[in-house]
């Protein structure tokens, strides 16, 4: 019996990152708990040197304890914040061109956003290196875009399930996964004050935000392996009726990757609480998205999305079930 298929499967596995949700949750929990533990230990170790309650009263002792705990926790929190991108890469499912890099080695690359955005970083003949740098950009985005942290991860999960429901082949799924991963990296080029503004954007600011799909495509353009994925990255805000942006594509002109991302992106925007809106109820969101089938969205993608919802594969994050003024902007 030939062992060729086994060898092929082994090679693919060596190039693949699989989702590690349990490990990602454990790392996230450790990052949350670490500052609390260090703050408590700092108080225990320094308490003998505090002004004692019998000298200055219990309030003075409590104030000292709070200050020591807060400062210690803040220092540790600043250090552990550097590990946040690790939780992002642990949640990724990707196939690399050569071999799967160490996730623990990729996460630290996110510290220098300026280096990541340097055109020379991705303008390399080493496809593997370029892919690794692209992944580092995505992990960096989670730190840069604080108000919608987790958005990219959720959209990636929703769209991947839609793609599977549509029976996309392996090549199309990989194209979709890379498109999902990178569709918002252009936001690294948007000023922090706009990206993390705690409220609605002005018309001028919204026009700046609308530039991010084009910026994403431009950043990724040097990577040859993404040649067929970049149109999906650029056009994920196009609409089925041709009123979207940046190129006002219509119907089948819109790449399939972009059509799927658009549905997943909108679903996440409507089902999560943001500074300018409360999360909408699932019933309202589904009714609204059905009504936009054939105008904003590809009907085939909407059918696959609704099928995944009905099967329980897709569900929104926990939220307050309030019905705000409708807003589909992401």
Contacts of 6 (CB under 8 A, 6+ apart): none
Q: Of the listed 187, 191, 227, 288, which one is catalytic? A: 187
- Secondary structure of 11-46 in the HEC alphabet? HHHHCEECCCHHHHHHHHHHHHHHHHHHHHHHHHHH
Alpha helices by DSSP H, listed for 81-197, are 84-90, 103-106, 113-117, 119-122, 127-144, 151-165, 170-182, 192-195
Active site (annotated) includes residue 74 = no
Spatial separation of the C-alpha atoms in residues 129 and 147, rounded to whole Å: 30
Residues recorded for the chain: 330
Which residue from 306, 266, 283, 294 is spatially nearest to 165, judged by alpha carbons?
A: 306
Spatial separation of the C-alpha atoms in residues 199 and 282, rounded to whole Å: 23
* Residues forming the active site: 187
């Amino acid at each position: 019996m030939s062992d060729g298929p086994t060898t092929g499967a082994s090679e693919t596995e060596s190039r693949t990152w699989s989702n590690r949700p349990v490990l990602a949750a454990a790392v996230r929990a450790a990052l949350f708990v670490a500052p609390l533990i260090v703050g408590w230990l700092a108080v225990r170790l320094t308490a003998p040197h505090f002004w004692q309650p019998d000298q200055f009263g219990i309030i003075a002792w409590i104030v000292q304890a709070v200050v020591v705990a807060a400062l210690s926790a803040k220092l540790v929190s600043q250090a552990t914040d550097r590990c946040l991108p690790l939780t992002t890469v642990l949640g990724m499912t990707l196939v690399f061109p050569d071999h799967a890099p160490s996730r623990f080695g990729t996460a630290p690359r996110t510290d220098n956003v300026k280096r990541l955005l340097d055109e020379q970083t991705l303008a390399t003949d080493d496809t593997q290196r370029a892919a690794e740098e692209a992944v580092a950009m995505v992990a960096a985005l989670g730190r840069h875009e604080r108000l919608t942290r987790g958005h990219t991860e959720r959209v990636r999960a929703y769209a991947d399930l839609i793609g599977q429901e549509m029976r996309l082949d392996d090549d199309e799924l990989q194209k979709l996964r890379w498109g999902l991963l990178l569709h918002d990296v252009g936001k690294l080029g948007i000023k922090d004050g706009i990206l993390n503004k705690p409220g609605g954007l002005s018309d001028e600011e919204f026009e700046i935000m609308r530039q991010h799909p084009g910026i994403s495509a431009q950043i990724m353009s040097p990577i040859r392996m993404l040649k067929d994925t970049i149109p999906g990255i650029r056009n994920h805000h196009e609409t089925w009726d041709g009123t979207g942006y940046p190129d006002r594509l219509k119907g089948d002109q819109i790449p399939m990757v972009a059509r799927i991302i658009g549905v997943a992106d909108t679903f996440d925007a409507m089902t999560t609480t943001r500074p300018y809106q409360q999360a909408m109820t699932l019933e309202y969101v589904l009714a609204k998205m059905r009504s936009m089938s054939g105008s904003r969205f590809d009907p085939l993608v909407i059918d696959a999305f609704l099928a995944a919802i009905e099967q329980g594969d897709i569900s929104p994050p926990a939220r307050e079930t309030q019905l705000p003024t409708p807003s589909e902007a992401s």
